Structure 1
Amino acid sequence: MARPRTFDEDVVIARAAEVFGRLGYNACSVDDLVEATALQRGSLYKAFGSKRGLFEKVLNRVLVGEWYREPAVLDLLITALRELAQTDLQIAALCRDVLHAYGEGAAELLGSRLLDHLPAHELNKE
């Protein structure tokens, strides 16, 4: 018989979202996730299958309701588009669906968030 989980999945996903948001997907290692979530490597893999599986779970958890109002969620969506969507059909479909549901202003929303990350002096260049 399998042992019951001894961790709160909501807490693990929130901590993983923070790490993915700070580092991005590619730069984030499983060791970073293990440290942030306080899970053992085996528990992380058993619960989520892989780093990618955890990232998908994070996206599914945060891309609900008024997700577009949360800068950290926009950063995760941008990370998914930049780092995974070109080669991962499921992530691409998730991104496409959520942006399609948002409507015509999706490109402006993402562009505005990308500009938020530029240093102020970069915006004032001519």
Structure 2
Amino acid sequence: TTTDTAEETFSREKSYTLNDYFLARGFAVVYAAGIGSIDSDGLAPTGDVDETTSTVAIIEWLTGKRQAFTNRDGNIAIKAWWCNGAVAMTGRSYLGTLATAAATTGVAGLKTIISEAAISSWYDYYRDG
């Protein structure tokens, strides 16, 4: 695998007040597209184990235990050099659910989660929408 310089970009399109709070205090904020959303591959599942697995993969990348690439061809690796290995997750509603799911795996490096209004009962979620 070739490691070249990759351009890092930042977008404020998906602002979330709690993230702004952390940014102001020197924390980094990472937005990652879920399976089948934004520019990611696949079909968007709901409550699927693959969502948990891909969330764990992002945490592993942040902590230096997994490679990530800047494109689909996988020829430019990028490291989260700015991450000290301590990861926190936050999210409201479904994103809070993904944070909870990742925490249940015991993935190394995930130190805390803040889940707001996360799904606590898949039965009720599917029955009541």
- TM bucket by the smaller chain? 0.3 to 0.5
* Structure index of larger Rg: 1
User: Normalising to structure 1: TM-score of the pair?
Assistant: 0.38
User: Normalising to structure 2: TM-score of the pair?
Assistant: 0.38
Indicate the structure with greater strand content: 2
